[in-house]
Amino acid sequence: MENISPNNQRYLALDVLRGMTVALMILVNNPGSWAHIYAPLEHAAWQGCTPTDLVFPFFLFVVGASMFFSFSKYGNRLNKESLLKIGKRTLLIFAIGLFLNSFPQWSADYAHLRIMGVLQRIALAYGLAALLVLSMNKKYLPFASGLILLLYWGLVAWGGGTDPYSLQGNPAIPFDTAWLGVDHLYRGFGIPFDPEGIFSTLPSIVTVVIGYLAGSVIKETPKGKVPLTLAVAGILAVITGWLWGLYFPISKPIWSSSYVLYSAGWASLMLALLIWLIDLKGYSYWCSFFIVFGVNPLFIFAFSGLWARILGRLIQIPSTNGKMISGSAWLYNNVFLPLAGELNGSLLFAISHVFLFWLLGYFLFKKKIFIKV
């Protein structure tokens, strides 16, 4: 833990985008009932892209943009100091994700423990992207990124079954099974398949790299031209991703190459809009809510995950029929459901969690405590 000050006004938009992303991550991860969710707050079943499907790549995009500034003190070059920072941060974030997967540790089934997860994907994408951007001249990064996306397309197309873009036929299943073991894969899709597995981490590296390039635009382009530059790049990426999706379908679960460009394009457009509003036009009065999330992003997100597990796994309350139910189910059934109904009650439950962790973030912000994870 260390005391730092938030980014200066020029980069306030980056903190706001980061904060908006964390707030949305908490919102979509904490409905009162998974059976009652508004469509925009659900992931696409397999192919396609909902607003919720943009949240995770937005976060990785911001990770990359922030990297350009954080590695400036190392000259944006790979050396002993930057390598040590990358290694420590990658291991720490991965370890926190593994801790959350196994919580509470005293009752975890380690024989079937899921190894990967959102934080683990963030850790690996950050670490591998950092090694790439610091070891290569910046002008070659677009070509390296394109090569990675084309390589991944080839691996999926020729390494899978008869329908390599499907749940059952994609090659991530045999690859991740070989590396992690079938008992350590996510099963939320009905079969052992991990949407944050090792195989699909490869294209997610490019999401971070694109964010890094956006950070370089913010830093090196005249301030007045930054929004237009990011907007043009974003539009081109969205169009290219959409067209590529006709052949390599846009799909978050396999983090398809088309999805990388499509989602990063929207992230670039959003960042361009925020910079124009906040840094150029000065409309920053509404930003404080999101800055609270943006200056302690990974800590707040990880703590929200811990709280969800405490509420869902540790706290057990007798229901009206005498059976024990989780604390989260009790809150939904006895507070939010009577208050707003099934669908709106589920949404209100999620919104209440956003405000709960905003209060935590606000306390840290007022105390000038900024926890680097």
pLDDT tens for 203-251 read: 999 999 999 999 999 999 998 999 999 999 999 999 999 999 999 999 9
Q: What is the pLDDT of residue 9?
A: 40
Q: Of 281, 310, 336, which residue sits at a domain end? A: 281
- Rounded mean pLDDT of 309-324? 88
Confirm whether 175 is domain-assigned. Answer: yes
Residue 261 lies in a domain: yes
Domain count, the chain: 2
Same structural domain for residues 326 and 247?
no
Does the pLDDT value for residue 322 go beyond 90?
no
For range 356-360, the mean pLDDT? 97
Mean pLDDT on 125-151: 97
Q: Is residue 23 part of a domain?
A: yes
Residues 316, 195, single domain; the answer is no
- 271 and 288 assigned to the same domain: no
* Average pLDDT over the chain, rounded to an integer: 94
Amino acid 372: pLDDT: 84
Q: What is the residue whose two structure tokens read 């009650």?
A: 345
Mean pLDDT of 28-50: 96
User: Span 249-266, mean pLDDT?
Assistant: 98
Question: Do 109 and 28 have their domain in common?
Answer: no
Each residue's pLDDT tens digit, 339-348: 999 999 999 9
Clarify whether residues 221 and 343 are in a common domain.
no
Least Cα distance to 357 among 319, 300, 311 occurs for 300
Q: Is residue 16 over pLDDT 90?
A: yes
Domain that holds residue 138: 52-281
Lookup result for tokens 């904490």? 30
Is 222 inside any structural domain? yes
- 174 plus 60 within the same structural domain: yes
Same domain membership, residue 216 and residue 70:
yes
Q: State the pLDDT at residue 127.
A: 98
So what's the pLDDT on residue 1? 34
Instruction: Please check whether residue 47 lies inside any domain of the structure.
Output: no
Residues 117 and 75 in one domain: yes
Q: For the chain, give the percent of residues with pLDDT over 70.
A: 97
Confidence band (pLDDT; 50, 70, 90) for 321? confident
- Percentage above 90 pLDDT, the chain: 92
Which pLDDT value is given to residue 116? 98
Contact 272, 234 (CB under 8 A): yes
Boundary residue ending a domain (281, 297, 316): 281
Same domain, 92 and 238: yes
Domain's final residue, options 263, 281, 299: 281
**Domain match, 161 and 241 both:** yes
Asked if residue 32 lies in contact with residue 337, where contact means CB atoms within 8 angstroms, the answer is yes
State yes or no: pLDDT of 351 exceeds 70: yes
Structure confidence at residue 320 (pLDDT): 77
For residues 76 and 9, membership in a common domain is answered with no
Specify if 143 maps to a domain.
yes
Question: How far apart, in whole angstroms, are the C-alpha atoms of residue 208 and residue 123?
Answer: 11
Model pLDDT, residue 36: 96
Could you tell me the pLDDT band of residue 45, with boundaries at 50, 70 and 90?
A: very high
Q: Same domain for 133 and 12? A: no
13 is a domain residue: yes
What pLDDT score was predicted for residue 249?
98
* Of 94, 99, 102, the residue nearest 118 (C-alpha): 94
